[in-house]
Amino acid sequence: MDSSAREDQAAAYAAELRFRTGGPAIFGVWSQPDVADHKFTEWLGAYSRPGAALTLTALTGGTARPVKSWTYEGGLTTGAV
Q: What does the pLDDT look like over 20-77, one tens digit per residue?
A: 888 899 999 999 999 999 999 999 999 999 999 999 999 998 899 999 999 999 999 9
Residue 6, pLDDT score: 40
pTM for this predicted structure:
0.80
pLDDT at residue 1 greater than cutoff 60: no
With cut-offs at 50, 70 and 90, classify the pLDDT of residue 81.
very low
Within 10 A of 10 (CB to CB), how many other CB atoms are there? Answer: 12
* Radius of gyration of the chain, Cα coordinates, nearest whole angstrom: 13
- For every residue of 3-64, which 3-state class applies, written as one string? HHHHHHHHCEEEEEEECCCCCCEEEEEECCHHHHHHHHHHHHHHHCCCCCEEEEEEEECCEE
